[in-house]
Amino acid sequence: MSEKVKVYEIGIDELLPDPRNANKGSVRGQKMIDDSVGATGLHRGVSVDMNGYLVAGNKTQQAAIDAGFKKALVVETDGDTLVVTKRRDFDLMSDDPNNIARKAAFYDNRTSETSLTWDAEVLLADLQSGVDLSGLFDKAELDALLAGLVTPEPADDPNEHWQGMPEFAMEDKTSFRSIHVHFKEQADVDAFAILIGQKLGDNTRSVWYPEADKIDMYSELYVDES
């Protein structure tokens, strides 16, 4: 590095929480972060922007303040330097069953998992303002997260498309009354057909009497015998 790295100390409470943090967190997650800080101390860094607003580590800062820690060490970079926190009391390869370094590693992963609760309103606001979240969520994931916030497109109202069209009323062509007629044998069917003056085929299920000239498509009372 050609330029000397700027390192200085500030109070933890001087770090500014992100007012639009998309992670609402969870009760269990925050408790686990608190437990982690209490059991293993501070080992995971946070990051801030040029104005001191927390980009990552909002929940960690709160846990540190709650645990009574006061100091924060700021290392200014331009994103081309990995800032490493070396804990002098950690020994990850130790066989000690109470190895706090190993426990801290588990805490690091588990707290991230349990404390993540997306804030759908913040996500939607950022999307609408043009924040590029492509590659972070697919459409199905965003749809699930934003369900209930995004108003679906209204369905077409047929009344809107009918404006200016002529009024239409369909004549009621259903029957006045229907009855079932039962026959013991084919001769009875033939006799009944002669009586009403209509042909009754094997596929006939119903007839009109007197015989209708036209069959309404909505009527269930007539089936052609063919």
Distances from the Cα of 224 to the Cαs of 48, 143, 208, 212, in angstroms? Answer: 81, 51, 11, 12
Contact between 11 and 99 (Cβ < 8 Å): no
Structural domains of the chain, with CATH: 6-117 (3.90.1530), 119-151 (no CATH), 171-226 (no CATH)
101, two tokens: 């370094």
Confidence of residue 62 (pLDDT cuts 50, 70, 90): very high
Instruction: Give pLDDT, residue 215.
Output: 47
What whole-number distance in Å separates Cα of residue 219 and Cα of residue 212? Answer: 12
* Highest averaged pLDDT of the listed ranges 111-120, 169-178, 203-212: 111-120
Q: Which residue type is seen at 185?
A: E
Q: How many CA atoms lie within 13 A of 121 on its CB side?
A: 3
Contact between 192 and 181 (Cβ < 8 Å): yes
pLDDT digits (tens, 9 = 90+) for 19-56: 999 999 999 999 999 999 999 999 989 999 999 999 99
* pLDDT mean across residues, the chain: 85
Q: Is 113 helix (H, G, I), strand (E, B) or coil?
A: helix
Kindly report the pTM of this predicted structure: 0.61
Instruction: Give pLDDT, residue 149.
Output: 79
pLDDT digits (tens, 9 = 90+) for 127-183: 999 999 988 999 899 999 998 776 556 666 777 766 777 766 666 667 777 888 888
